[in-house]
Amino acid sequence: MRVLIISKFFPPYQSARALQIGKVTDAIGKNAQIRVIAGLPDNMKGESDDNIHYVSYPKAKEFKNRLFRIGRRLLKEFESTNYFGSWVKKASGVAEKVICDFKPDVMMTSSSSFESHLVGLHLKKKMKILWVASFSDPWPAALMPVPYNVHSVPVLSRLQILMAKKVITECDAIHMPNKYAIDLIGKKLGLDIREKSYIIPHISNSFPKNIKIDLDLSDKLVHIGHLSRERVSIELLKAVKLLADQYKDVFGGMVCVGTVCPEFRRLVSEMQLDNQILILGQMSASKAMEYAMNSRVLLIIEANMKKSPFLPSKFVDYVAAKRPILAITPPISPVRDYLCSFSQGVAVEHNVDQIVEGIQKIFTRNFDDVLNENKEGGLMKEFTPSVVGSKYLSVLSDIENGACTNMNKI
């Protein structure tokens, strides 16, 4: 099988989605011929070769002035739906040449950024190629649950919704990492998409064993990655304050590996938790996972919602790190489903009593018992490159053959 993959975010860019689609490409490439049309910020180096064709785009400028930041965001929102945008036009032109030479059986476009799907729209119309539109999360923000939809831009949101509807209508299949995302998008757009939708989770990393770091995390609750204001939990901070005093023999507080929002820092200071919560700041993905593998317990925080349509890629990496997981997650969520099916952690809501009980439970249990309770193969097997890669290939084969028998189908 010959597969053309289009993704504006792609390695060497280091965003979560760029790293994910890089791993997906490697996994599919084990058993298929691959060509990639990839975006690349113009301040980074990437050598195009026979398999990967880089198309550059301007690196976003950083502004301290709030008005400039707002303007930059508005421009970014507009560009996400600009069918005639510079990157879309350049990537489409490169893709046309690749299609003529490579003759792919099927094309897969990956977001974010949504601009990848705009290239797909162009190629579907002009080249009549079979097309899978892959979404890492629901899009646009206007379709997301509170608190994420409060950041949508009224006029542009309508245009974004129309473009999302057009992509989902025109493509031959849709992929998302979980069923709640598919249900949400179908309901919000007023489309019955279940017959063309497939569920495939993220791919995990493989990590070397016995890596040591210069910080003792054997009694710490550790959060990896960016902590945005939507996911700040005052209930968690109250629980940490309570337990750091009452259970200091087994619980040594919290460590944040990565950037945190100003709102979180302010609460830590106001609640006098500077001695209980250590913020290490941003570091490379590989270095951050070294901290993850040396942690006592890893922490997932989702926003306070009734239902989550997200499967964080960090959850998949947490599983591969083979550490117990405490997940502060809505009562309905993919993370909760996985933790209820496989015993690698505890799921709680944004509730002080639940968080306290969850921390007590997970810090006082024997770690070996936690993993040994897993079903044969464990949760980690669900996200390995070989398993996830085979699911992608099965979907792509389905589309190529016009079949509707894939077990991952909704």
For 125-139, write each residue's pLDDT tens digit: 999 999 999 999 999
| CA dihedral for 61, 67, 70, 72, sign (positive or negative) | negative
With beta carbons less than 8 A apart as the criterion, state whether 326 and 224 touch: no
Q: Helix count (H) and strand count (E) of the chain?
A: 14, 13
Contacts of 401 (CB under 8 A, 6+ apart): none
- Say if CB 19 and CB 202 are below 8 A apart: no
13: which DSSP letter? S
Q: What is the pLDDT of residues 55-114, one digit of tens each?
A: 998 876 565 566 655 556 666 666 778 888 899 999 999 999 999 999 999 999 998 889
Q: Is the pTM of this model over 0.75?
A: yes
Helices 285-293, 313-320: crossing angle, 10 deg rounding:
50
The shares of helix, strand and coil residues in the chain, as percent rounded to the nearest 5, are 45, 15, 35
CB 248 within 8 A of CB 275: no
Going by C-beta distance under 8 Å and a sequence separation of 6 or more, which residues neighbour residue 341?
375, 379
pLDDT at 314: 92
Q: How far apart are CA 211 and CA 195, in angstroms?
A: 45
Low-confidence residues of the chain: pLDDT under 50: 373-376, 404-408, 410
Q: Give the pLDDT score at 67.
A: 61
Q: Which residue has the tokens 């031959």?
A: 172
CA distance 38 to 119: 11
Alpha helices in 342-384 (DSSP H): 352-364, 367-372
For residue 187, the tally of other CB atoms under 10 A from its CB is 12
Strand partners, 254: 221, 277
Mapped to the 3 state alphabet, what secondary structure does 170-225 carry?
HCCEEEECCHHHHHHHHHHHCCCCHHHEEECCCCCCCCCCCCCCCCCCCCCEEEEC
Look at strands 297-301 and 221-224 and give their pairing: parallel
Positive or negative torsion for Cα 210, 299, 152, 198: positive
Phi, psi torsion values for 197, nearest 5 degrees: -105, 140
328-349 pLDDT tens trace: 999 999 999 999 988 789 999 9
The mean of the pLDDT values for the chain is 89
How high is the pLDDT of residue 149? 86
